[in-house]
Amino acid sequence: MPPAFVELSAVLVLATFLGIVAKFLRQPLIVAYIFSGVIISSLGIFKGVDHAIFELLSNLGIAFLLFLVGVDLKIEDLKYVGKAAFLTGLGQIVFTTLVGFILVSALGFATVPSLYIAFAITFSSTVIVVKLLSEKNELQSLYGKVSVGVLLVQDIVAILFLMVMSGVSGPGGLSIFGLLMVIFKGAMLLVFAWATAKYGLRYVFRLASSSLELLFVSTIAWAFALSAVALLMGFSTAIGAFLAGIAVASSPYRIQISGRIKPIRDFFIIIFFILLGASISFGAANVKIFDVLLLSLFTLLGAPLIVLTVMITFRFRLKTAFMSAITMAQVSEFSLILMTLGQSKGLVTPSMVSLVSAVAIVTITLSSYLILYGDHIYTFLEKPLLKFFPQKPRDPYVVNKESLKDHVILVGGEQMGWDILLSLKNKIEVDQILVVDFNPDIVKTLKASGYNAVFGDISDPEVLEELELGRAKLIIMTALHIHDSEHLIRFAKSKNYKGPIVAASYWMHDAIRLYELGADLVVVPEMIGGKHIARIVSEDWNNLSKIKKEKSKRFEELMSRKLF
């Protein structure tokens, strides 16, 4: 049996065990994988094994990771938080890099490595943050949307930097001429990817779509082919894979492709993080514990403080700014990829890669708890934070709130909320319908239609204070976030609200909880959806072709209800 196979088996068994431990401790699995590499390397199991095999698997993991980043990348998501998130993301990168550069230089590192390390640790993990926010059911909250917007800006900057760095040959290639050549070759690669996708790829996918297996094979072939072209043009295979993913993002088969690729991505990326953990062990002798602790402290406290300051400057509320800031308190997987690439270009040493990897372990571990228990931490720190970041006066959230009486408060104006609005406007004057939503585009559309719409987070006490809950006639909550619904119900009761409370809940146990808190009607969309489908199937059982005939009608109905 080949030694490499035995090594791989041992690594995966250990990674599985540590993964179970990590899940029990509510830690991201990436920590378990890195620790697996550290342990395996410390035991000397990697000695005498051909590392080329593991390096190949690791590179495939990075390529598949960036391919799926390209598939899932949605630039239009920036519109949810707009200019503020874009500027916050850029401001965070600039200021964190500058402060980080001063800090790393003070540790005795040379100028180029200091700048490279400082830039690498500015990026936060989109994968980890999105996963943790999803577990808290706060991905759709205002601070969740802001965080995702900032992370999206970070991802775009990281990808552009990876593209430039993969096109240079080393420290000597960082000249003006070399940079211009990289930009020119990058533009040529983009044009090639766009033309191939538009005039060839969509037809191939259409022919292959009749078989999921063939669609999967054609997708892999496309990713490998463009990666090979990128490699021939002087870029890394990962950049080619990313552009291949971008091309697939607009395909109608994106969901099927993404679902098929993710398990393969997960396997290969495990190998990458295990090898990264092994490199920490190999270079640990040259890594100072003080350096790890100082950079970890900067990432956990300094970087979020910079984000908090930038967001307060853009007049975000303190809680929104704080909750968004603590999501940035870890080193990203992109940071580790950047350091690995920097080592291959001779810009940083293996011990520097080990340093950033060690910082990643510390910050990912601790920041997970910061995000999960952010509300409790904010409650504890709110008063001292207000002394350093006093709230600036701002325009009132609600226009003409003094005239509000017997009004209807609707939380969430999209999808479910839109149907409710269409019904309510036949019962009450539109200016007496007060809609609260965190999506600025929805708020803009509603205001243009004459509704009294408020852009804000329903968990913000200042927003709630302006809704005149005590004089309201009806409260309807279409948002499916249990914590927001709980908060609003309690606040309404404290303002002596006597009217009915209608809510929606994704889970049945959350619906029960809302009834216990005082809601009068709680709708569970999945239950209603199941009953609706069952009714249609039952009615058309003897003529199932009617379901296909009604398709265009239902599709047109959905399109007519889009708000933007």
- Please write the tens of the pLDDT for every residue from 12-26: 888 888 888 887 877
My answer on whether 372 and 500 are in the same domain is: no
- Kindly report the CATH number assigned to the domain that includes residue 171: 1.20.1530.20
**Where does the pLDDT of residue 197 fall: very low under 50, low under 70, confident under 90, or very high at 90 and above?**
confident
My answer on whether 81 and 26 are in the same domain is: yes
My answer on whether 144 and 206 are in the same domain is: yes
For residue 545, being part of any structural domain is answered with no
My answer on whether 346 and 410 are in the same domain is: no
Count CA atoms within 13 Å of residue 83 on its CB side: 2
pLDDT at 297: 92
For residue 557, being part of any structural domain is answered with no
**Where does the pLDDT of residue 284 fall: very low under 50, low under 70, confident under 90, or very high at 90 and above?**
low
My answer on whether 60 and 186 are in the same domain is: yes
Q: Mean of the per-residue pLDDT values for the chain?
A: 78
Which tokens belong to 448? 């243009």
- Kindly report the CATH number assigned to the domain that includes residue 499: 3.40.50.720
For residue 509, being part of any structural domain is answered with yes
| Residue 540: Cβ-neighbour burial (10 angstroms; 0-12, 13-18, 19+) | middle
Phi, psi of 434 (to 5 degrees): -105, 115
My answer on whether 383 and 412 are in the same domain is: no
My answer on whether 85 and 177 are in the same domain is: yes
- Mean pLDDT computed over 65-78: 66
pLDDT at 564: 43
Q: Pairing between strand 501-504 and 474-477?
A: parallel
My answer on whether 225 and 342 are in the same domain is: yes
Contacts of 46 (CB under 8 A, 6+ apart): 7, 40, 278
pLDDT at 440: 67
**Where does the pLDDT of residue 534 fall: very low under 50, low under 70, confident under 90, or very high at 90 and above?**
confident
- Structurally, how many domains does the chain consist of? 2
For residue 513, being part of any structural domain is answered with yes
For residue 362, being part of any structural domain is answered with yes
**Range name among 63-77, 145-159, 360-374, 492-506 with the lowest pLDDT average:** 63-77
My answer on whether 203 and 255 are in the same domain is: yes
Q: Is the pLDDT of residue 27 over 60?
A: yes
Q: Is the pLDDT of residue 488 over 70?
A: yes
Contacts of 289 (CB under 8 A, 6+ apart): none
351 with 375: CB under 8 angstroms? no
Provide the domain limits for residue 300: 3-388
For residue 23, being part of any structural domain is answered with yes
Total-model pTM: 0.66
My answer on whether 297 and 445 are in the same domain is: no
For residue 543, being part of any structural domain is answered with no
Contacts of 472 (CB under 8 A, 6+ apart): 404, 406, 407, 408, 409, 434, 492, 497, 499
The residues pairing with 475 across neighbouring beta strands, listed in sequence order, are 409, 501
My answer on whether 454 and 498 are in the same domain is: yes
- Mean pLDDT computed over 32-38: 79
Handedness of CA 70, 73, 75, 76 (dihedral sign): positive
Where is pLDDT greater, at 134 or 217?
Answer: 217
Q: Is the pLDDT of residue 524 over 50?
A: yes
Q: In angstroms, rounded to a whole number, what is the distance separating the alpha carbons of residues 326 and 374?
A: 8
For residue 61, being part of any structural domain is answered with yes
My answer on whether 314 and 413 are in the same domain is: no
At 228-275, the pLDDT tens digits run 888 787 777 777 887 888 777 767 777 777 777 777 777 777 777 777
Q: Is the pLDDT of residue 163 over 80?
A: no
